[in-house]
């Protein structure tokens, strides 16, 4: 599923350019993706649309509020992912309502101990769906794996 999400992100730079689910399914099938993966990805994208639509009902937390993660969320995300989300929030890149969408979409994968690279894909898809582009340094952080970084 994550390969499909990255394909959608890279192929359709803006969510308006992405075809409706039926046509997208045919395009993904023509690109060589398996039907089960396509179905999972389309379901996940539908859930993303619903989460984004519902995010407008969330209140804005106060500046001194702290996000506590439920056991189920910690099981899915793990310590590294929670730390990464905190890093993005403290950098001002990830607003609290977007964090909630990311956490909800991570839980929707059904994966325990979601790898950090897959969390980054979820983050990219949330930004993509909202047609927002994080600044260049954060975008680089989301795309380039730590092992591939060149230290100057």
CA triple 129-135-139, angle to 5 deg: 70
Whether 147 has a pLDDT exceeding 60, the answer reads no
**Structure confidence at residue 82 (pLDDT):** 95
Question: In percent, how much of the chain has pLDDT > 70?
Answer: 83
Render the burial of 82-121: b for 16+ CB within 10 Å, e for the rest: bebbeebeeeebbeebbbbbbbbbbbebebeebeeebbbb
Report H helices in 1-135. Answer: 2-11, 21-30, 35-54, 71-90, 96-108, 116-129
**Structure confidence at residue 19 (pLDDT):** 95
The average pLDDT across 122-149 equals 73
**Residue (of 142, 108, 143, 102) closest to 122 by Cα position:** 102
**Structure confidence at residue 149 (pLDDT):** 40
**Structure confidence at residue 77 (pLDDT):** 96
The average pLDDT across 96-110 equals 94
Instruction: Please report, for the chain, the start and end positions of each structural domain, with discontinuous segments joined by +.
Output: 2-148
pTM: 0.86
45-98: pLDDT as tens digits: 999 999 998 876 666 666 677 889 999 999 999 999 999 999 999 888 888 889
**Structure confidence at residue 151 (pLDDT):** 44
In DSSP notation, 99-150 reads HHHHHHHHHHTT-SS--HHHHHHHHHHHHHHTT----HHHHHHHHS-GGGPP
């Amino acid at each position: 599923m994550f390969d499909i999400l990255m394909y959608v992100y890279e192929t359709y730079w803006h969510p308006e350019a992405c075809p409706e689910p039926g046509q997208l399914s045919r395009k993904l099938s023509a690109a060589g993706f398996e039907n089960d993966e396509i179905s999972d990805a389309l379901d996940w994208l539908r859930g993303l649309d619903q989460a984004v639509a519902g995010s407008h009902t969330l209140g804005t937390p106060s500046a001194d509020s702290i996000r506590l993660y439920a056991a189920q969320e910690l099981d899915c995300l793990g310590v590294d992912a929670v730390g990464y989300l905190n890093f993005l929030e403290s950098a001002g890149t990830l607003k609290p309502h977007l964090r909630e969408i990311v956490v909800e979409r991570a839980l929707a994968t059904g994966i325990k101990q979601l790898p950090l690279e897959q969390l980054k894909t979820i983050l990219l898809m949330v930004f993509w769906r909202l047609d927002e582009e994080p600044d260049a340094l954060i975008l680089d952080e989301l795309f380039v794996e730590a092992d591939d970084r060149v230290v100057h």
